[in-house]
Structure 1
Amino acid sequence: MTPAELAAVQAHLRRLLGNDKISLSTPKRKNASVELFVGDEFVGTVHRDAEDGEVSYSVQIVVLAEDLSQLN
């Protein structure tokens, strides 16, 4: 993703989810996934897909079982 795409997706996710602590991190390796953070915590990845002239972005969020136990 280009820096402009990263900024646009980050701004959209912040508005959509109502959280200004959401940030996207540029991958260090070429063609690696963009990392999604809330504050300092890694929560998932963002992938760009360009098919048939259409561009979309998918978000994959990781939820660890050990994090669920903190809710009890």
Structure 2
Amino acid sequence: MTPSEIERVQTYLRKLFGTERIKIVPPPRQGLSIEIAVNDETIGTVHKDVDDGEVSYSLHLTVLEEDLPAPRPAPVKPAIGPSGRR
């Protein structure tokens, strides 16, 4: 992707998600992935696709399990007695 494309995609994503914290990070050298970051934390990559003259950009977001909040415990269901009442 060119610097102009990176800027345009970044501008679009910032407007779409309503935040200036999104940043598209060009690779340090050609051939490496273009990264998308929020608050300087890389959350995925951006890819350009050209098919039959049409250009599109796709985002691949990566969520690490270790970054997720702890799972909520399953709710305890009250036991139902023989009469069908709780």
TM-score above 0.5: yes
Q: Which has the higher contact order (CA 8 A, sep 6+)?
A: 1
- Match in the other structure for 1:21: 21
More helix by share: 1
CA shift, 1:69, in A, is 2.8
Residue identity over aligned pairs, in percent, reads: 49
- The number of residues matched between the two structures is 72
More strand by share: 1
Q: Which has the larger radius of gyration?
A: 2
SS at match of 2:30: coil
Structure 2 residue 9 is the aligned partner of structure 1 residue 9: yes
**Structure 1: gaps spanning 5 or more residues:** none
Q: Please report the TM-score for the alignment, with normalisation by the length of structure 1.
A: 0.90
Q: Please report the TM-score for the alignment, with normalisation by the length of structure 2.
A: 0.77
Q: Measure the CA separation in 1 of the matches of 2:59 and 2:7.
A: 15
Which consecutive aligned stretches of 4+ in structure 1 deviate over 3 angstroms post-superposition? none
